[in-house]
Amino acid sequence: MLGVSPNTLRSWERRFGYPRPRRTQGGHRQFDLAEIEALRQAFSETHNISSAISVARQRGEGPTSPTRLTGAFNRFDEVQADRLMEESLAVRSVERTVEEVLLVSVAELADDNGRSAELGFAWRYAAGWLAAYQRVAPPAHRADGILIVDASGPLDLDALHVQALELTLRRSGVRTLTLSADLDLDRIARALRALRPTAMVLSGSATSLDTLGRLVYAARRHAPGVEVLDFRGALPDTGASTVTRLGDSPLAARDVLLDRLSGHRPAGVQDDLDVLLEAQ
């Protein structure tokens, strides 16, 4: 796994005290898999054994980190990615695992490599993982409904954040429906009449402002009183904003939405989208 001889491994143990094997009754060394994997990943990054052991000590003694998961994605190692996600779930909630590990790992690949094969693998893994946890979310127990309009494109990080927001809302007991911004308005109207949402969340930047405006008007027609909110900058910031902006974090956005669902929408509010459309 490490690409070195047993003698080299024993010399690292004597010199650095790492990796730290257990001994069988017969005197054979038994190494912990997490320590070996942490050392392999760290050595591939640093190419210096002293630095690698320093990094591996930190990673090996703590929960799954985004860097370790990114390493699995870079190796196209789905089995290892599964193991790291399960390891994280042992010490973190589903929500924190998604926000602190999964989304960060995919974002690191997007920042480093653009639209690479590694990013494609990681994005599809993350999308599948989030969808699987959505399917086992408990049934909704709140009367409020939230419609999320997803205007993101293929391999967009926004698309994963939309999935993450839907997952956190579903796990909070909220009736949640996510639809593409590209759907026909008649079909959106049918969904609105069925869901009767209290709030409509716009997310993604892969569609026009005019399309978003039509969707908002359809929502207000078929779900009177619906509040329109922005997640991750779907609407341009005009400065004097009156649209509630949920920010970039799924957990923070969920908390704001739950707080607003427990209150009432102020009457007579004209949002940024109205102003922008009138100006066009």
| Cα Dmax for the chain | 81
- CA–CA separation, 146 vs 261, rounded Å? 10
Is 161 inside any structural domain? yes
How many structural domains is the chain composed of?
2
Non-local (6+) Cβ contacts of 230 within 8 A are 201, 202, 203, 243, 244, 245, 246
Are the CB atoms for 171 and 232 separated by under 8 Å? no
Domain interval for residue 233: 139-279
3-state secondary structure string across 202-253: EECCCCCHHHHHHHHHHHHHHCCCCEEEEECCCCCCCCCCCCEECCCCHHHH
DSSP state of 28: -
In CATH, what number is assigned to the domain containing residue 223? 3.40.50.2300
Q: Are 125 and 153 found together in one domain?
A: no
Pair (204, 272) in one structural domain: yes
> Do residues 98 and 169 both lie within one domain?
no
The total number of residues shown for the chain amounts to 280
Q: What does each of the 280 residues of the chain score in pLDDT, given as a tens digit?
A: 888 999 999 999 899 988 888 888 888 998 877 788 788 888 888 889 999 888 887 766 556 778 789 888 998 999 989 989 998 898 889 999 999 999 999 998 986 556 789 999 999 999 999 999 999 999 999 999 999 999 998 899 999 999 999 999 999 999 999 999 888 888 888 888 888 899 999 999 888 888 888 888 888 888 888 899 999 988 877 665 567 889 899 999 999 999 988 874 443 334 444 544 454 4
User: What's phi and psi for 227, nearest 5 deg?
Assistant: -95, 135
User: Which whole-number Å values give the CA distances from 210 to 150, 180, 235, 275, in the listed order?
Assistant: 15, 15, 11, 12
Same domain, 173 and 68: no
Select from 132, 159, 190 the last residue of a domain.
132
Q: Do 104 and 229 share a domain, yes or no?
A: no
The answer to whether residues 112 and 191 belong to one domain is no
In a domain, 175, yes or no: yes
On whether residue 120 sits in a domain, the answer given is yes
Q: Please tell me whether residues 147 and 124 are part of one structural domain.
A: no
259 and 222 in a common domain: yes
User: What pTM did the predictor assign?
Assistant: 0.74
Domain boundary among 79, 107, 132: 132
Q: Which of 132, 161, 182 is the last residue of a domain?
A: 132
Same domain, 127 and 147: no
Residue 1 lies in a domain: no
Number of CB atoms found within 10 A of residue 236's CB: 13
